[in-house]
Amino acid sequence: MNVLIVDDSKAMQNIITKAMKSVGYMNDNYSYAFDGEEALKIIRAERPDLVLSDMHMPKMTGLELLKALRSEKDSTRVVIISIDNDEKTLASITAAGSDAY
């Protein structure tokens, strides 16, 4: 499986990668982006199977990335990762078509 991890923190990218590997995704291919704009370019070019994206990033947030993908009818699985547990935020992410939050 090809996994794209989108986070503006290299430390969080490493933590997410280690977490994925610890639950059995050891032989998967990982690529990285530091914001939604970079992620969108990678998604269009490489077509990953799964995108794990932070919510709050410069240039383009995880929600904006998700909306851009869904407006293009892109069905790539997207999971938004955030400590933000605001009900309005969750409702926005769900309405935009996230596969999980």
pLDDT tens by residue, 19-76:
999 999 999 999 999 999 999 999 999 999 999 999 999 999 999 999 999 999 999 9
Determine the straight-line distance between the first and last CA of the chain, rounded to whole angstroms. 20
Residue 84 has pLDDT above 90, yes or no: no
Residues 7, 43: contact at Cβ < 8 Å?
A: no
Please name the residue that has the structure tokens 């990953």: 48
Residue whose C-alpha is closest to residue 83's, from 24, 7, 5, 21: 7
Task: Answer whether 0.85 is exceeded by the pTM.
Answer: yes
